[in-house]
Structure formats: C-alpha cells, structure tokens
Structure 1
Amino acid sequence: MNAPLGLEPRRITVQGDGVRLATYQWGNARGPTLLLVHGYPDSHEVWLPLVRELAADYRIIAYDVRGAGASEVPSRIRDYRLPRLANDLEAVIRALSPDRRVHLVAHDWGSIQSWEAVTEPRIQPLLASYTSISGPCLDHVGHWMRSRLRERRAGAYLQMLGQLLSSWYIAFFHTPLLPELTWRFGLARAWPSLLRRVEGIAKPHVSTTQLQDGQRGVRLYRANFISSLFRPRERHTDVPVHLVIPTRDRFVRPQLFDELTRWAPTLWRREVRAGHWQLLAEPQRLALWLREFVDREEPARRAS
C-alpha cells in the first residue's frame, strides 16, 4: 500500500542489533513523539491509516522489524529472540529521538517484543508511555498459565484451554516448512480477502512484501515461545501502560491480561468490541483513544 496523499515518509536506515532497520517518519516535529511497532504478518504499512489520523499533531516514527518489510533479514532463528528485538527498538529511539521520550504504540507481535523493552530497566527511561494492542508479554503468559494450573478448579482450566485453542496456529508455526509453503501456495494472495471476511475490514491493504513477511515472521514464534512459556522470567515495569483489548479477538483472549497489575501497576485497561486488527478496521477510534491517553501523560512527562 502506498502512503496516503501528502504523507510520504522521511526514510532513514538505523543500525539495530546486528541488522539494518528501515524507519519512517511523519508529522508534526513539535508534537509528542509516537513510536509504532507492527505485528505479524505485517510491516510498517499496517499503521498508515492511523498515521493519516494523527500526523497533524504528533511526530510519528515507525519501522519494519527485523525480517519484515525493507529491513534486513537474519537467517538464524536465534537472531529473532526477544532481547535482540528489544535492542532494535532501543536503537531506533536513540537514533531518531535521542532527547525526547517516546510514546510506544504496538500491535500483536509488535506488542510482544515491546513488552520486552518496556520491562527492561535500561530502556524504560526512554519511554513516556506504552499502548499495547492484542499482544501480551510472553513471560506474563507463562506465569498466568502456572497460576491457572495452581488453582485446580474447572473454570481456571477452561480459561487456559480456551486460550490454547485460540493459539492453535502457534503449534503449526513450529512445524518445519509447512507455514512457509502455506504462504507461498495461496495464503499471501488470500490474505486481503481473509481480513475483509474475518475481521470486517472494508478495504484491506495489499502489501508488496506480504509473502516474505509471512514466511520470515514465523521465526519469531520459533525463537521465543517455548522458552518464555515454560521458563518465564519476572518482568516488571513502571512505564504507564494503556491496554487496548479487543474482546472479539480470535487469537488473544482478554483473560490473559487479568493479572497484569502485578507486573505493570500504572495500568489503564480498555476493552473494545472489535477484532484482532482493530487498528485497520477502526483507525479513527484508535486515534481518539491514543490522543486521550498520550495527552494525559504529556503533562506528567514534562513535570518529571
């Protein structure tokens, strides 16, 4: 998808943790800085409808995460582990917003990797706030699963079973070659129509890198899920968190976030009747919520 008329980005290549990252900037240089991190199987292009809504008042930065879009593609699975993804995010902030904290906004796998950064003490001082959409911290999920098992009651087991059923695709992504072949032989072409039928997105965008993004992005799952879920770490943050929970999300159940105040005590939780790709289906509503949250946090940021 091309950038909306009048919103051609300024493009800069940033050196991440061993990879070159394609970054994009729009908007009002005097406004608060938003850093947008996309999920799977997307690129920075998934944010363009939101950029259209916010560019007049905010400085906006987005980047293609490693392996996606125009960014460099590591070949080893271990190069997609969460600490390296967090290092990439830190590198983008230090290169493009060295003197101003950013308001981090992330979706899906962008949220998962952003949780790694938000809970990293070295990176927390660079962040003014964090808006997470449809993406939990994998370590928090590991602790949530353990707490469900410890309860030893049917309701807790059913919650865990429901999430496991919603996450069926994760097991599929761990199989050799099948996910890559599925993308090559049909899924890439069918992706826009799936977004239209399943998510209710009227005009799904067609990404020129959709096939490659889908194939390469499965390495994120292979590099991180097993270790995080079965050996979860204690990951805390003092960054203000704005949690957007689409209640019709087919992949991430709302109950995954029930214990989040244990890890993020400064938390605003917003449940919305929407699907997983709410950022594409309703960019105007998401823009409104971001304005409300970011503008509330800005006076506190300046005071500190």
Structure 2
Amino acid sequence: MDDVMTGDGLRLRVYEDGAATNPTVLLVHGFPDTAAVWEPLVRELKDSFRVVWYDVRGMGGSEALATREGYRIECLKDDVIRVAEAAGGKVHLVGHDWGAVQGWRAVQEHAFESFTAISGPDLGHASDWYARNFPSKDTVNQLIRSWYMAAFKIPKLPDLIFPTAGLELYRANIGQKYEPKRIATRTLQIIPTKDAFVTPALMKAAERWCDDLTVKTVPAGHWVIKTHPEVVATWIKEFARES
C-alpha cells in the first residue's frame, strides 16, 4: 500500500504483507512503539490475511505535528479510518495499547468486520468505570499502575526519555471527559493477566457497553503481541472466521 495522508496533512507510513486476495487485517500500535512492534504477529498472520499496519502519527516513519491538538483521540481515530478506507474492502481491526484506545473510537463511526482490543480500554468506558466504582480496590489498583500518566504531564523532563510525539497522546487526552458509547461491532478482548499497566478489571469495563463481546485471557504481560504472537494470532484467525 501507498502511504496515507491524514485529514490535517500528515503522511502516515503504511506497510503491507500477505496475499491481496486474503481478508484484510489492520494493526494499530500503541505507545511508545512503532509499527515494528507488530513484526512477530505479522509473521503469524500473513499466510491467512492481507496484513496492513502503519506508524501512527509522530512515530517511526510517519510525520509529526508541532501542536498538541493533533494528538487528540478524534484525530487518531480519523487516521485509523483513513488507513482502513485506503486498504479498501472489509477490514478486521486489531489494536494494542493506545492502538486499541483509538480502535474503540474508530469502530463507533466506521463499519469494521471485527475489532480485537489488546491492553487498551475505550476512554469513555474507562471514565464510566471509574465514576461507578471509585473508590474501590480495583480502581485504586488501576490508578497505582497508571502513575506514569501523571508523570508524563510534567513539562520537559519526560521528553528527555520518551518520544515527544508519543507523550502528547497522554497530554492531549488524559484528564478529559469522555462519554461511553455502545459498541455494535463484534469485539474480541485479549486480556494479559500479568499486564503491569492495564488491569483486567478496567478492560472488563467494556462488558457493559458491547453488544457482541468475546473475552480471552492469557498469563502474559503488556506486550503479549511480542511474547505470545502464536496465541494472539490463533485467536484473531478464529474470531475473523466467525465474522
């Protein structure tokens, strides 16, 4: 596939593998990754799918904006939809970490064949979950695991360690008010039970809002897409066949 232009004029670097006649799966990565994080999973999927993946704005080979507003979830969601439309046809969407966060928003506005969310909640579902359950053991546990989000809002210091564009994801989106919305798209949640950043309790907040949800758990850490690509690929293949 050719690179894709965003609505605000950025060029997104897009990659493709697998036969064009196969069903299409679109992979969206999170922070602080680039598209390279998907390499183990691409190897597992390319015999069954036409695999499309890209560097999100500001990361890897994609262009970056100088302003924070361009990293709001609405802009990121639009990027997902633009790449899906450029891919053409019916698309199965897979997101990890912030890629899953973007995916939750994208499936609310675009017709995907299925959506697989890995280690990333919808911002509206998360807001609702906190509002309904705070204070509780689960919400406090998640807040402890999310300590880095507050740290990322400190000016200048985090920028010396992490890619600035990636940090803008947090600075532009965390702390905003988001309304939860129902999800009609068939959704698979893969929940790594040893995730150091996202608790199973938070991920399960989606159960309240999804019309058709399948949940799989795996005893793995946050980057399960790298450590257990065979398991993740098997579940994606099975779920896609059922669509």
- Counting only pairs closer than 5 Å after superposition, residues 1-304 of structure 1 correspond to structure 2 as 12-18=2-8, 19-97=10-88, 100-120=89-109, 123=110, 125=111, 127-149=112-134, 157-183=136-162, 214-227=163-176, 231-297=177-243
Secondary structure in structure 2 of the residue aligned to 1:45: helix
Deviations 1:97-116 (A, max 9, x none): 1xx11000110010011111
Match for 1:135: what amino acid?
A: G
Deviation at 1:283, TM superposition (A): 1.0
Deviation at 1:83, TM superposition (A): 0.8
Secondary structure in structure 1 of the residue aligned to 2:143: helix
The alignment yields a C-alpha RMSD, in angstroms, of: 1.2
Deviations 1:215-260 (A, max 9, x none): 3200000001111xxx221322210000000000000000013332
Q: Is the 8 A contact 2:123 2:180 kept in 1?
A: no
| Counterpart Cα distance in 1 of 2:222 and 2:172 | 23
Q: Is the 8 A contact 2:193 2:217 kept in 1?
A: yes
The TM-score, its normalising length taken from structure 1, stands at: 0.77
Deviation at 1:53, TM superposition (A): 1.2
| Counterpart Cα distance in 1 of 2:205 and 2:60 | 34
Question: Which 4+ stretches in 1 moved above 4 angstroms?
Answer: none
Deviations 1:13-50 (A, max 9, x none): 11112111111111011111000000111111111111
Match for 1:146: what amino acid?
A: A
| Counterpart Cα distance in 2 of 1:132 and 1:235 | 16
Deviation at 1:84, TM superposition (A): 0.7
Structure 2: gaps of 5 or more residues = none
Match for 2:33: what amino acid?
A: D
User: Could you tell me the percent identity over the aligned residues?
Assistant: 40
Secondary structure in structure 2 of the residue aligned to 1:12: coil
| Counterpart Cα distance in 1 of 2:233 and 2:2 | 25
Deviations 1:256-279 (A, max 9, x none): 133323211200011110000010
Deviation at 1:182, TM superposition (A): 2.6
| Counterpart Cα distance in 1 of 2:180 and 2:123 | 11
When the two structures are aligned, how many residues end up with a matched partner? 242
Match for 1:182: what amino acid?
A: I
Match for 2:161: what amino acid?
A: T
Q: Is the 8 A contact 2:120 2:203 kept in 1?
A: no
| Counterpart Cα distance in 1 of 2:101 and 2:224 | 17
Question: Max radius of gyration: which structure?
Answer: 1
| Counterpart Cα distance in 1 of 2:230 and 2:180 | 36
| Counterpart Cα distance in 2 of 1:260 and 1:87 | 22
